[in-house]
Amino acid sequence: MEYTFTDANFQKEVLEAEVPVLVDFWAPWCGPCRVQGPIIEELAGEIGASAKIGKLNVDENMDTSMKYGVMSIPTIIIFKKGEIAAKFVGVKEKDELAKAIGVASA
């Protein structure tokens, strides 16, 4: 399942989550984001409840984007227990993301 994260729900859905959370910072006009999107969706479909995976639109959620220093998109940040565990800028492969989040991808 893929989540939609916002400035309003970020604290509860990401920082207070019991499982690791992958946040894909993106925008609809971003070409590389459209390449990354299907990779993220595929990973979300494979990992089940062992982690949360979702997107945060940087144009609509500038506070959170600025707080985490997102200057280029796509940026992917993996949070564990409310802390940044990994941060990637640019398109990343599914296996690399699965390894960083700590789950096996199919």
**Catalytic positions, written as ranges:** 30, 33
Q: How is the chain split among helix, strand and coil, in percent rounded to 5?
A: 40, 25, 35
- Which residue bears the tokens 């993106």? 26
- Which two tokens mark 106? 């199919």
